[in-house]
Chains A and B, each alone.
Chain A
Amino acid sequence: MARWFRIVEKKRGGRRTGSNWLGSVGEAVFCASLFLLGSLLLSLLVGTHLVRPDPGKFAFGVGGWLLVLVTASSIVLGGGGLIWAVLGIGTSIERRSAMARQAVDHDIVHSALPRARNFPTLPAFDGLIDSPGIELAYRLPSSQTPAWQLLAVTIFTMLWNLVICIVTVSVASAHVAGRHEWLVTALLVPCWAVSYWSMRTFLNLLIQNSGMATTTVEISDLPLAPGREYQVVVAQHGHAVIRSLELSLVCEEEATFTQGTDVRREIREIYRRTLWKREAFRIEPAKPFQENCSLLVPLTAMHSFQSPHNAVRWKLVVRGEAATWPVFQRDFPLVVYPGEETMQIELASRASRVASQQVSVPGMAGVHA
């Protein structure tokens, strides 16, 4: 707890530099005020209407209903925030986390997922094993969904360009008629730039998705264990001349953090091993490219890890460069379990522990405050 009351305090994401207790009290007071103000105004509105009914006040376009909506929102937000703040006062983060874990342990849906209960914080792999492969046990799903991305870009491009066309025609007609609206014309320039960008993105995506057909990756087993060898088969369909195509095993760390009011995400690649790379070949629709290889996760690798704001992810990455097509990359997520090697303690530490156990009085490593 801060020794002195700080008038100005820094807020770093969900953390505060000042007293948490004072912060919670301040939040509760703010929410209570909002709730009280909303209640008073709504009572005033309803009371006035009951004493002197004025149907004109609630007519369309006057704003009576808007006032009711705003005051009711204040009551709901203020009341909800007040209950949340009161529940949070004096409750440690450990206690809240323990309660959340208990709730998860009793969650029937959660417990039905194929997640090893002895391995907390490992991501569920139910989405990875529900599709059997042709050559090997499982066909891995791609982490990107180009169809959805293409659909979203198509809808945006259509709507945006429709609106810009209508406005452009309207402004052009005005100019022809002698009514020069220079401000609207100037505002149209950045809109045309967005139109150009949207069309370019749409065409790029269209070329990528139509030119380079599906990439399938199959694996012999899941989840992966470090030190064990697995078989992987990659098949690239389509009709193209390929300059280069490669398969890599990649591990990334991902951190999500709050910066001011923005939520940002940083990804750092910490491991990459190219499993194979092929250059200068042709893919025909009747004869897709196929390559087999073995995959070995490093013995001392960190396992897959998933928490709300941090993650360690393993994946297979297929990256290709084709003549006359843009470079394409497709990611196939994997789940790596902790290896036997990393679940043990280091040899030096093991030796010192054995030595300490041979001494009759057990020591205690501790801190005092």
Chain B
Amino acid sequence: MEPLLSLCIGGTSRDFAAGDELVCEYQIDAVEPGDIQAVEMSILWHTQGKGDVDLGVHFFERRLPSDAEDGDLRPMRRLRTRLPNSPLSYRGAIVNVQWCARLRLFLRRGREYVIEQPFTLGCVPAVLPALAKTGE
């Protein structure tokens, strides 16, 4: 049976302004506490598109069983972080920048599970006005 991972972003909107506070909650279920090796929670941006994937971590937290009460990493955990001014979310022609919250669960024997929750930082329009040919 596969573990159950739950990841939620605070508020009803997934659009954030630069400098906003992001609240995230995650919870793990359907797995024995002793099977969990580590849990990593990140708030990051990554590129999509034609180029190789680049990634930048804004917030990172790695928890081991020894960090939790009774060694149990499954209960709900809430984290807060203030979002940076850049890079803003962007959908370009060959370069896209996507922000997301990502939860990664490491189990014994090298098993690994990941879920992520995308969100938008800023409001850069997907396409700029058509290529202007002459000055105005």
Give residues in A with beta carbon < 8 Å to B.
1, 13-15, 21, 90, 92-95, 97-98, 101, 118-122, 251, 253-258, 266, 268-277, 293, 298, 300-303, 305, 307-312, 338, 341-346, 349, 352-353, 356, 362-369
Contacts and interface: CB of A to CB of B under 8 A. Distances in A.
Interface string B53-97: 111111010100000000000000000000011111010111101
Given A92-B40, A301-B128, A352-B13, A366 B7 contact: yes
A310 B51 contact: yes
A271 to B, nearest CB: 5
B113 to A, nearest CB: 7
A120 B56 contact: yes
A21 B109 CA distance: 10
Find the residue from B7, B12, B47, B60 having the highest chain A CB count within 10 A.
B12
B60 A268 contact: no
A95 B40 contact: yes
Of B16, B47, B95, chain A has the most CB atoms within 10 Å of the CB of B95
Contacts of B90: 302, 305, 312
Contacts of A311: 95
A364 B113 contact: no
Contact of A302 (B49, B94, B124): B124
Contact of B54 (A90, A92, A308): A308
Contacts of B106: 90
Contact of B93 (A253, A293, A342): A253
A310 B95 contact: yes
Given A1-B111, A97-B56, A98-B60, A92 B104 contact: yes
A119 B85 contact: yes
A305 B91 CA distance: 13
Given A253-B95, A368-B6, A356 B13 contact: yes
Contacts of B40: 92, 94-95
B12 A344 contact: no
A352 B15 CA distance: 10
29 contacts: A21-B110, A90-B110, A94-B60, A95-B40, A97-B44, A119-B85, A254-B51, A255-B94, A272-B132, A293-B135, A298-B128, A300-B128, A303-B86, A305-B97, A310-B54, A338-B18, A342-B123, A344-B18, A344-B122, A345-B15, A346-B15, A349-B13, A349-B15, A352-B12, A356-B11, A356-B12, A364-B8, A368-B115, A369-B115
A288 to B, nearest CB: 22
Contacts of A122: 86
Contacts of B132: 271-274
A120 B87 contact: yes
Contact of A266 (B20, B45, B50, B112): B50
Contacts of A271: 128-129, 131-132
Nearest to A364: B8
A24 B14 CA distance: 35
Contacts of B16: 345
Interface in B1-28: 4-20, 25
Residue of A13, A21, A101, A342 contacting most chain B CB atoms (<10 Å)? A342
Interface string B114-132: 0111001011110011011
